[in-house]
A and B are shown apart, each in its own frame.
Chain A
Amino acid sequence: MLDGLRLHPVVKLVAQRIALGILLLLAASVMIFLGTLVLPGDVAQAILGQSATPVALANLREQMGLNDPAWQRYLHWLYAALHGDLGTSLSNGRDIATQIGSRLGNTLFLAFWAAVVAVPLAILLGLLSVRYRNRWPDKLISTLSLASISLPEFFIGYVLIYFFAVRLGWFTSVATIYDSMDLWDKLSAIVLPVTVLTMVILAHMMRMTRAAILNVMQAAYIETAELKGLTQFTVIFRHALPNAIAPIVNVVVLNLAYLVVGVVVVEVIFVYPGMGQYLVDHVAKRDVPVVQACGLIFAAVYIGLNLIADLVSIVTNPRLRHPK
């Protein structure tokens, strides 16, 4: 069908990948819905506990529509979610979409600034580590990255709070932000959480940047550039870096996807009013509609970023640009 249109191969690949992304998101929404059906009793039982009377159980089941078959409830839920209706919370009866709105903004604010700090820093350190390959800056950087994949977020977080907030008193230990604060106050409130998130994603990005550039450095044109007598920095910045951009961008986007997970723990450490804190609170309360809504949003962001990473590598691949 599409063959008649003689689509450019890049367009075709991009369209295929986007279609796959949408399919994946749909399937993920099924998984999230199924994930809450695995329990031995049902949601009503979980909310009311083992000692609930049969009448109360029946009422709650009726109220939540639990008597309908699962696939019907799923379609209902998905249809409403696509129209921006995420249902109401079981624990406080409030509309979930309005509650999530401002929190999602706060979480994106935190993740955005973590990315703004971490991405340039990771690329810079990766370049440094190529420039001083196998010498002490390179070794120091790789030791640090081994440490950072082994350290849980809360260790880094509480060490920072202990020393910089409690001992030195430079920052507050709790990162509170609200709408009426101006940007500068907001930024100074999130210095510590941004630092933790940066440290968590920095190592991987740095290592992959280093690997991507080293890979390019083996090409013949790099040798030519070196033989022309160019300085090491010119060779790395002007000749190697542009050709390593695609894999670097890919790694950067994948790490931004990791931020989605890191942010949950970091928000709890700093009592930050975001999506992660909201999700964790409601898991403990067994508030299933809230958990499903948050799960869906987190999964959508994660799948979306993975999709962007793949699209970037398709678009930047020069071999696909010129059809045979």
Chain B
Amino acid sequence: MRIPISALIGLFFTGGFFLMAVFAPLIAPYGLAEVVGDVWEPRSADHWLGTDNIGRDLLSRMIYGGRTTILIAALATVLSFSLGSFLGFTAAVIGGWIDQLMSRLVDLLMSIPTLIFALVVLSVMPVNITTLILVMGILDSTRVYRLSRAVAVDINVQDFVEAAKLRGERRSWIIFREILPNALSPLVAELGLRFIFAVLFLSTLSFLGLGVQPPASDWGGMVKENKDGIVFGIGAALVPAAAISALAISVNLVADWVLNRTSDLKGGRGG
């Protein structure tokens, strides 16, 4: 199997970002909230990326911030995937009015821009990590629902599912043992795109001051913390913003490759 160079780059950086997130406390030179110098010190041997708006080491903040961003985005993606695919498969298998009801509800949720609806909900909810994961996961599960329902409707009419139904298998068997394994490959490609969406969405919310709250901070929040330096020519806010972009591009490169591979496989099997 030959992996294209763009996918290799994507895999390398995605892996790097995840390792950084896992081992954050071991590699960060300073503590998360430790004030170690002056405000917005330039790059130096002690502080490779300089210091931030209240004199904390920017590199350490970046490492911890990456951990927060990746963790919350990953949990939101897991939630949106389990919820969306389970409901999508269920709708496809049961059909009838339950399918109609859920599908129209999803149409309705998608008719309001996600960011706007999230802002409406966040205006009354306590802003903490659980709320963020729930809001992001539930709102984004609508897209997973549409995809998995469409995939499952196709699988549901195939002979092996008919056979399972005639054997008298329960619905949970049909969903988890017949549909799920066959729907995995298109869903895996989508996984990367949903993760990118979660990263960008979380970063946007934190940038607007409605995501992760201080003193903890994710990359989006760090852009907000340091943005006032920009007009003085201090580029500290550009570092977390660039990191978000780099993470999104790397995952995109991997997702692109997975998508092409799974569609190749489909072609190879004559379907």
Contact = CB atoms under 8 A, between A and B. Distances in A.
Interface of A: 24, 27-28, 31-32, 35-40, 43, 46, 146-147, 149-155, 158-159, 161-162, 165-167, 173, 257, 260-261, 264-265, 268, 279-280, 282-284, 286-288, 291-292, 294-295, 298-299, 302-303, 306
Interface string B227-249: 10011110101100110110011
Contact of B108 (A24, A161, A166): A24
29 contacts: A31-B109, A31-B117, A32-B117, A36-B120, A38-B125, A43-B124, A46-B124, A147-B249, A149-B252, A150-B196, A150-B248, A151-B248, A152-B203, A154-B227, A158-B227, A159-B238, A257-B113, A264-B116, A264-B119, A268-B207, A284-B209, A284-B210, A286-B124, A291-B119, A294-B116, A298-B113, A299-B112, A302-B113, A306-B111
Contacts of B242: 155
B147 interface: no
Nearest to B231: A173
Tell me the dominant secondary structure on chain B's binding face: helix
A29 to B, nearest CB: 10
B111 A299 contact: yes
Contacts of B126: 39-40
Contact of A152 (B123, B200, B235): B200
A288 B120 CA distance: 8
Tell me the dominant secondary structure on chain A's binding face: helix
Interface of B: 107-109, 111-117, 119-126, 196, 200, 203-204, 207-210, 220, 223, 227, 230-233, 235, 237-238, 241-242, 244-245, 248-249, 252, 256
B225 to A, nearest CB: 12
B241 A39 contact: no
B249 A150 contact: yes
B207 to A, nearest CB: 5
B203 to A, nearest CB: 6
Contact of A162 (B119, B123, B203, B230): B230
Contacts of A264: 115-116, 119, 208
Contacts of B210: 280, 283-284
B111 A150 contact: no
A46 B230 CA distance: 34
A140 B117 CA distance: 35
Contacts of B200: 150, 152
Contacts of B124: 35-39, 43, 46, 286, 288
Nearest to B242: A155
A31 B113 contact: no
A35 B117 contact: yes
A154 B237 CA distance: 10
B108 A295 contact: no
A155 B219 CA distance: 11
Given A27-B108, A150-B249, 9 more contacts: A31-B117, A32-B117, A36-B124, A155-B238, A158-B241, A283-B119, A286-B123, A287-B123, A302-B111
A287 to B, nearest CB: 7
